[in-house]
Amino acid sequence: MINYTEKIPNNVDLGRDRVLQRALEHWQPAYMGWWYDMGPNESHNYEVYLRTATSVEPDGWAQFGYVKMPDYRWGIFLQPRDEKREVNFGIHKGQSAWQEVPGEYRSTLRRVIVTQGDTEPASVEQQRMLGASCPSMYDLRNIFQVNVEEGRHLWAMVYLLHRYFGRDGREEAESLLARRSGDADNPRILGAFNEPTPDWLAFYMFTFFTDRDGKFQLCALAESGFDPLARTCRFMLTEEAHHMFVGETGISRIIQRTCEVMKEHKVEDPQDVRALGVIDLPTIQRYLNFHYSVTLDLYGSDVSSNAANYYTSGLKGRFRETKLEDDHVLADAEYPVSEVVGGKIITKNVPALTALNERLRDDYIEEIADGVGRWQRVIDNAGIPFRLTLPHKGFHREIGNFTGHFINPDGEVLSEEAWRNHEFAWLPNAKDYAYVQSLMSGRVVEPGKFANWIAPPARGINNQALNFEYVRFN
């Protein structure tokens, strides 16, 4: 169970490590300062029907109740230790999993933890204005739940920095509260976390696409030979599932509503669809293209010696590493990657160790494709002849082998001019953003009411009714 009687709730026996406890208690007010400044705008007095983790067991999620978000019990929760756990891959395979940081990997490991940690507050910053345009009280509650949990993920990474990296770690923990998403001078570390999330269509796309990148990165780190990192990430993953649920069902409900209106009024032209106050399917496709492509960049270069080093040293594994049936060393294995040669995309095999970013990206794409397939079924069930597609992997990329090439969603390499001529048929344009935002000029918060552009969900949170008061405004 988690000890909630302490100032910082935890299941790591924090009270026995006074130095660490003092360091974290020093960081806590800085974190609260960040939350008041950069957490959900004007939300601090709301009472929100949130779930709080009360145990790190898979069923420890039953605690629902009204919480003012600044009173949320952020804390430090690790999955319990498995004494027999080993390093499961790389050159240290078969050693007991490390309980302290191996000296030779200290700076690499710190960088990995900081990079993951930086994404957590970034997404809260990106989403902080969206409460003012929520489509329902149910959705408002969901974004707040996502936000407080991202806050806790930051706590999780900061615990590792404080506990295992001494003074450098404490400095990094302070920097995590100093960077700001989209800031010109002190931005967040990764590109997608500096993009604005200007509206709820973007928010659902972000939680579907970008939170899922989070899932895959956490899965790879949950395999780490550094046991405290693995255990921390395992617990974070249980929370990530809800974030992706919010994204997938959010888009699904938008599609459902659009299809209902198209059928009812027998319209197909996007202008006619917009005239009825719902989001036309081509606009949804353009948002999808944008969020998918910027998220693919988060996996890094297709061929990467860093990725090889992380793996060989046992710091970051593959997706479901221990379920894979091979030697877990990959000395002779190969993996296909693509590149542009002479205006054509070709695929060739490279050493699998260097292609681990690409492999993780491919695992991600597979799961994304399933989700897009489920959205497609909503359209098909409505009998509307429209296909949502994932663009080619090389479309609109700024990191890796496709950088600097102009590839259309079908995977054809174009001239820059030809690509620019179609850019805004493929990516959201200023009119798309203006239209989507025009639908969200105010918030819908009467219990049980939903904005016209989105269908209600199939059921409420924690079996509550759809007209349950998920947020109390004070």
**Contacts to Fe ion by CB under 5 A:** 120, 150, 153, 211, 214, 240, 243
Task: Write down the least CB distance from residue 150 to Fe ion, Å.
Answer: 5
Based on CB atoms, which residue is closest to Fe ion, 69 or 378?
69
Q: How far apart are CA 430 and CA 280, in angstroms?
A: 15
Please provide residue 215's backbone torsions phi and psi, each rounded to the nearest 5 degrees: -60, -45
Based on CB atoms, which residue is closest to Fe ion, 120 or 195?
120
Q: How far apart are CA 438 and CA 196, in angstroms?
A: 17
| CB 51, CB 58: distance < 8 Å | no
Based on CB atoms, which residue is closest to Fe ion, 153 or 393?
153
| CB 226, CB 85: distance < 8 Å | no
Task: Write down the least CB distance from residue 77 to Fe ion, Å.
Answer: 13
* Chain length of the chain: 474
Task: Write down the least CB distance from residue 291 to Fe ion, Å.
Answer: 14
| Tokens 């080993």 sit on residue | 86
* Residue 24, token pair as written in the block: 């974290």
Task: Write down the least CB distance from residue 128 to Fe ion, Å.
Answer: 15
Based on CB atoms, which residue is closest to Fe ion, 124 or 262?
124
Task: Write down the least CB distance from residue 354 to Fe ion, Å.
Answer: 28
Based on CB atoms, which residue is closest to Fe ion, 134 or 246?
246
Task: Write down the least CB distance from residue 142 to Fe ion, Å.
Answer: 12
The distance in angstroms from the start CA to the end CA of the chain is: 32
Task: Write down the least CB distance from residue 154 to Fe ion, Å.
Answer: 8
Instruction: Show the CA angle centred on residue 187, arms to residues 181 and 188, nearest 5°.
Output: 65
Which residues face 351 on adjacent strands?
Answer: 334
Based on CB atoms, which residue is closest to Fe ion, 303 or 360?
360
Amino acid letter, 322: T
Task: Write down the least CB distance from residue 152 to Fe ion, Å.
Answer: 8
| CB 330, CB 317: distance < 8 Å | no
Task: Write down the least CB distance from residue 250 to Fe ion, Å.
Answer: 14
Based on CB atoms, which residue is closest to Fe ion, 149 or 302?
149
Based on CB atoms, which residue is closest to Fe ion, 214 or 391?
214
Sheet-wide strand order for 63-68: 63-68, 47-52, 471-472
Amino acid letter, 444: V
* Residue 362, token pair as written in the block: 């491919």
Based on CB atoms, which residue is closest to Fe ion, 237 or 329?
237
* 3 state SS for 118-187: HHHHHHHHHCCCHHHHCCCHHHHHHHHHHHHHHHHHHHHHHHHHHHHCHHHHHHHHHHHHHCCCCCCCCC
Q: How far apart are CA 418 and CA 200, in angstroms?
A: 31
